[in-house]
Chain A
Amino acid sequence: MISANSIISILFAISAIASALAIYLSENVFKSAIALAATFTIVSLVLLLLNQPVVAVLQLLIIVGGLSTYLVVAVASESKKYTWPTDLRLLAATAIILFISLMYLMLPSLSSTSVSNQSIYAEFLQTLQAYAVTIYFAIVLMFAAAIGSMIVIKSALNKNPM
């Protein structure tokens, strides 16, 4: 018998995949950005289902609230026409091949709850925590690169406005 959690996760999965496909089936880029925000929202609901409320709330705040709004305002609202549509046959073929091959690779590790798998995860996280300071500086550098790129673009726009 299928549990309630399984039914809810199947519903979430179907709606997330549908909204992800709507990105490529939409008439214009603005609707595609809205579909992406809907996908992020459903992903945050799935995170809630996984008993990770903090991650779910942060996902909703950072990705849906911040990045999707930024994308919609900065990019999608300017592009009214959908000039070069996606090759849907290539999209479907690539997605199906990738899904089957990745599921084939991942299923053995998902079905086994062996001690070796869990020790690998624990070891990976310990290594990650050991390099936390390095990662912190890498994050700061990435933000500096992002802000620098915005400054360069702004100066280029001031010299030669669109």
Chain B
Amino acid sequence: MFMIYIMALAISLLAIGIAGVVSSRNFVIIILSTELIIAGSILAAVSFFSASTAINGSFGILIISLWVIAGVEIIMLVAFYISMKQQVGYFNVNKLNRGKG
């Protein structure tokens, strides 16, 4: 029963993050939403694998991969943010095509 609450929390974070990406136009909020998605997926992975008795918790490589993806994604998105700020001056992703060329 306890695991269902944790899984529900992970799925809620995932759903809120995806909904945030879909419904936001501000680029910074989209960055924060993707981080929320990653937090939800890390929690889901840990709760799944810690519930399984056959594994003995040897899932470090998966979690470290998820952390690396989160870190690299943030670095690249911040670089893209700076580029967008320089070329376009605003962060509405619906108007990204104005920054081309």
Contacts and interface: CB of A to CB of B under 8 A. Distances in A.
Contacts of B81: 74-75
B75 interface: yes
A39 B50 contact: no
Interface in B21-48: 22-26, 28-29, 31-33, 35-36, 39, 42-43, 46-48
Nearest to A105: B11
Interface string B62-97: 111101111110111011111101100011100000
A11 B82 CA distance: 38
Contacts of A76: 28
Contacts of A50: 6, 46-47, 50
Contacts of B23: 86-88, 90-91, 94
B48 to A, nearest CB: 7
- Interface residue range, chain A: 35 or more
Given A24-B29, A49-B6, A102-B15, 5 more contacts: A47-B46, A50-B46, A83-B92, A125-B62, A147-B75
26 contacts: A16-B13, A21-B16, A23-B20, A24-B29, A29-B29, A32-B29, A50-B46, A67-B71, A71-B35, A75-B31, A75-B81, A84-B25, A98-B19, A99-B12, A102-B14, A106-B7, A106-B11, A118-B53, A119-B54, A121-B52, A122-B52, A128-B59, A143-B72, A149-B75, A153-B82, A160-B86
Leading 3 A-B pairs by shortest Cβ distance: A94-B19, A98-B15, A95-B19
Interface of A: 2-3, 5-6, 9-10, 12-13, 16-17, 20-21, 23-24, 29, 32-33, 36, 39-40, 43, 46-47, 49-52, 55, 58-59, 62-63, 66-67, 70-71, 74-76, 79, 82-88, 90-96, 98-99, 102-103, 106-107, 110-111, 113, 117-119, 121-122, 125, 128-129, 132, 135, 139, 142-143, 145-147, 149-150, 152-153, 156-157, 160, 162
